[in-house]
């Protein structure tokens, strides 16, 4: 698997995952299990830096930096 997420993308996904997991674990609403599933997927993609949907649609947010002279 090739990394296709930028560091900012990964940080946002990881932060969102933590919020969703906390909501899923500590709230008692019918959709709490859905928040947990989405949170786990966001956490896995954020930590690994690879998003299968990005690859499917040909998206990459980890563009290499260009040097300016």
35-54 residue pLDDT tens: 999 999 999 999 999 999 99
- pTM here is 0.83
* In-domain check, residue 18: yes
Percent over 70 (pLDDT), the chain? 93
* In-domain check, residue 30: yes
What's CA 39's distance to the chain center, in Å?
8
The answer on pLDDT for 1 being more than 90 is no
* In-domain check, residue 66: no
Q: Which residue blocks in 1-69 are alpha helix, DSSP H?
A: 7-26, 32-48, 52-57
- What is the rounded CA–CA span in Å between residue 11 and residue 32? 23
Element (H, E) at 68: none
Q: What is the pLDDT of residue 61?
A: 92
* In-domain check, residue 1: no
The answer on pLDDT for 32 being more than 80 is yes
* In-domain check, residue 21: yes
* In-domain check, residue 49: yes
Task: Domain count for the chain, please give it.
Answer: 1
């Amino acid at each position: 698997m090739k990394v296709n997420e930028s560091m900012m993308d990964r940080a946002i996904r990881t932060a969102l995952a933590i919020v969703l997991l906390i909501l899923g674990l500590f709230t008692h609403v019918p959709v709490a299990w859905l928040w947990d599933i989405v949170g786990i997927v966001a956490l896995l993609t954020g930590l690994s830096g690879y998003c299968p949907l990005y690859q499917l649609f040909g998206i990459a947010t980890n563009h290499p930096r260009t040097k300016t002279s």
